[in-house]
Amino acid sequence: GNGKGTIAKWKDKHRRMYDQATHHPFILSIRDGAVDYSNFKRWLGQDYIFVRQFIPFVASVLLKSWKESDEESDMEVLLGGMASLNDEISWFKRQADKWDVHLHSVVPQQANLNYCMFLESLMKPEVEYIVAITAFWAVEAVYQESFSLCLESSAKTPLELMETCQRWGNPGFGEYCVSLQKIADRCLENSTTDDVLLKAEAAFTTVLQHEVSFWDMSYG
C-alpha cells in the first residue's frame, strides 16, 4: 500500500503513551549518566525473569505464524528472534556475574508478574496471529527505541552500560524491529474484520502500559 502503515498511525495516535514507554526517566538517567546502579541491578534481575517468560510467548507466535501466516518468510524472522533470545539468556547470566546480581534469588515483582500474565493470555490458541505479532513487535520496539537514545552522539551513557544499550539499540536489532513491524502492517492491512483490528490496537497500548510499569519497577 501507499502512505503510512497501521502501526505508524497507531504510534501517532498513542504518541504520549508511546513516548512514556520509550523515554522513561530510568532510560533517560542512563543516557544522562546519572543512573543509580541499584536501580540498574534491580532492572537487570527483573528483566532476566521477564525474558525467560518471553521465550514461550515468542514460541507461541512462531506456532501461530506456522498455522496462520500466508508468508513463509515470517517464520524465518521469528526464528531469528528465538535465536537471539538464546544468546540473550547467556548474556544476562554474564551481566549478572559482572554486577553481582544473584539471578536465582530474584523475586519477580508484581508489575513483572502482571506483564508475564498478559503475555500468557496472548499465548492461547484462540488469540489471532495479528494480535500476537502486534504485541510482539511492540515489546521489542520499546526496548529498541529506548536503548537507542542511550547510544546517540549527545548521550553520556556510562561506559560500563554501553554493552546493555548496544544489545537492544544496535542497528541490527533496529532492522529486526522493522521486519516485525512490516509483518504486523501486512497482517493488519489484509485483515477483514474491525474486531481483530481493535484487539490488535488494544494489545499494542496494553504492552505500552506494561512497559512503563516495568521501568517504574527499577525505582524499587
Residues engaged in binding ligand HMH (CB under 6 A): 47, 50-51, 139-140, 142-143, 211, 214
- Other Cβ atoms less than 10 A from the Cβ of 138: the count is 27
Give the C-alpha separation, 134 to 29, whole Å.
29
Question: What grid cell was written down for 192?
Answer: 477483514
CB of 143 to ligand HMH, least distance (A): 4
C-alpha 66: how far from its chain's center? Answer: 22
Q: Which of 140, 145, 201, 211 is catalytic?
A: 211
Give the dihedral sign, CA 61/175/147/25. negative
What amino acid is encoded at 170 in this protein? N
Q: Would residue 140 show up in a list of annotated catalytic residues for this protein?
A: no
Cell 548521550 found at: 155
The residue of the chain with the least Cβ separation from ligand HMH equals 143
10/92 with CB nearer ligand HMH: 92
Min CB(195)–ligand HMH separation in Å: 27
Give min distance, CB of 94 to ligand HMH, in A: 15
Q: Give the nearer residue to ligand HMH in terms of CB position, either 139 or 150.
A: 139
Please give the positions annotated as active site: 211
